[in-house]
Structure 1
């Protein structure tokens, strides 16, 4: 079950021209990782301070850029032969930071406990994937509520003001995604 993650090859193909321009300009993949977190911060600020539906355009644009940077940083590193363990670490930390920063934008819209629960839930699928990779399994991505779905849900909240239901879906859906990944890994690593 890959969810919207199944669109990644299509999306990466759309970014090929941008990737080529970044290669020619010798942009560092780490710069793109940091820019993704900055875009997440901008989206969080718009979500927190602009009322729905005025927040939808800046949140959607900034989160689309966040996903683009998340796609481009690793691709650029591979294209230029600049993959490094430190770059991989920065990429993982940047992805987690961007997720948590976006969810922090909900602090003005929903109870702290629910934002914290959604933040915990949003990190669970990555913990499972990284644990599986550490055990020798291929990295798991996607799921019922993976990174791309969380971005889409934040845009829905920006458009509608439905912060509480969106956070509940993020929390529950992310936990379900983690369970699905655990089941896949358990089966794969047991054989």
Structure 2
């Protein structure tokens, strides 16, 4: 299911935005920081959307913008020739904090803290296994059921849906079920990456 496989297509679509960013003198790190700010704003919108459902729509737009900028920073770094381990580290740290604030915001909005905790740990373990493979000498792993691009797309789509669908199924709203999905599939994806990495190391 992973949308990460479509990165080459997305990179081509980014060219006009990279051109504009270059002309404006933006740095990849600055773009990463702005993307993080959008994630924080999305998390805040989700957290208060339980009482004002239309905030879910705002949060969804901010999530999509975060995802777009997350692609833009890497493309800009390659254009400028400034890609570096330090920039890669900053990007990954900010991405993980962005994941956390968006998921915590979703959990706060529906007041489902236990499910939210399970979703956060699933997402973090998925990302950890992806980069830990590289740390032990393998290529960085993006495979599995759900990658980051998939998560952002799902959060954006379900967030937009939640603005208009407020009913519950078995006690959970669409946002609650999204958190359940991330909790289950996140850990499955992490185990997939672990299994593939272990096989490659033998």
Q: TM-score, normalised by structure 2?
A: 0.85
Larger deviation, residues 25-34 vs 5-14: 5-14
| Runs of 4+ off more than 4 Å | none
SS at match of 1:10: helix
Give the equivalent residue in structure 2 for 1:173. Answer: 185
Give the equivalent residue in structure 1 for 2:196. Answer: 184
Cα deviations across residues 59-105 of structure 1 (Å, max 9, x unaligned)? 22211111111111122112111122221111110110110010121
Pair 1:18 & 2:17 matched: yes
Give the equivalent residue in structure 1 for 2:44. Answer: 45
Measured in 1, the distance between the counterparts of 2:53 and 2:7 equals: 28
RMSD: 1.8
Q: Which runs of 5+ in 1 are unaligned?
A: none
Measured in 2, the distance between the counterparts of 1:114 and 1:135 equals: 31
Q: Following TM superposition, by how much is the alpha carbon of 1:157 offset from its aligned partner in structure 2, in angstroms?
A: 4.2
Structure-to-structure mapping, 1:21-100, within 5 angstroms: 21-51=20-50, 54-100=54-100
Give the equivalent residue in structure 1 for 2:167. Answer: none
Report the number of matched residues. 189
Measured in 2, the distance between the counterparts of 1:33 and 1:123 equals: 19
Give the equivalent residue in structure 2 for 1:147. Answer: 148
Give the equivalent residue in structure 1 for 2:161. Answer: 159
Q: Which runs of 5+ in 2 are unaligned?
A: 163-172
CA 1:96 to 1:49, structure 2 compared with 1: closer, same or farther past 3 Å? Answer: same
Measured in 1, the distance between the counterparts of 2:159 and 2:62 equals: 14
SS at match of 1:27: coil
Give the equivalent residue in structure 2 for 1:123. Answer: 124
Conservation of the 8 A alpha-carbon contact between 2:40 and 2:102: yes
Cα deviations across residues 151-183 of structure 1 (Å, max 9, x unaligned)? 233231452342221111001111111111112
CA 1:148 to 1:37, structure 2 compared with 1: closer, same or farther past 3 Å? Answer: same
